[in-house]
């Protein structure tokens, strides 16, 4: 006999998880470089990567590595886009602190997602999540807007930018 407390609600349909080969969910968001519409990057490869929080040591080291590698990505017609649920003022303060403390300019936009809508659309957050705890995610999006690779890491594990 099944336990009715574990049966799915017939009126609620969870969105299908994002998969390789799917169209990347489009969005318009504020960033450290002004408003960004993801679909405006069509014609370029895009690396969309999330981080759990600004001002943390692992996220900072990742952003420094991405910033230093950005010319190599640009040479391959690839745009970098960072994302977290932190606010735009937090992002601006953080990229300024990276510049001031490490002499590194973050040359790519960092998207704010305080409502977690983008994170949920990409599967970084469960649809029922009440906190901002996300996985570290990387989405490789081709010039036609199709997701070609997805990599997720636990919050506690940093990623290698060039591997």
Catalytic residues: 59
Please, which residues bridge with residue 136 across strands? 153
Q: Are 141 and 46 in contact (CB under 8 A)?
A: yes
Q: 122 is written with which tokens?
A: 């990409």
């Amino acid at each position: 006999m099944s336990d009715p407390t574990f049966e799915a609600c017939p009126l609620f349909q969870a969105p299908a998880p994002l998969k390789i080969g799917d169209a990347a969910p489009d969005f318009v968001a504020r960033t450290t470089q002004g408003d960004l519409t993801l679909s405006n990057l069509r014609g370029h490869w895009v690396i969309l990567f999330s981080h759990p929080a600004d001002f943390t040591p692992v996220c900072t080291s990742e952003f420094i590595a991405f910033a230093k590698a950005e010319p190599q990505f640009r040479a391959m017609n690839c745009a970098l886009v960072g994302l977290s649920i932190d606010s735009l003022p937090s992002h601006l303060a953080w990229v300024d602190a990276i510049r001031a403390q490490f002499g590194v300019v973050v040359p790519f936009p960092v998207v704010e997602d305080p409502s977690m809508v983008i994170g949920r659309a990409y599967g970084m957050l469960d649809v029922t999540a009440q906190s901002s705890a996300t996985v570290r995610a990387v989405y490789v999006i081709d010039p036609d807007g199709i997701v070609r690779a997805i990599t997720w890491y636990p919050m506690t594990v940093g990623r290698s930018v060039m591997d």
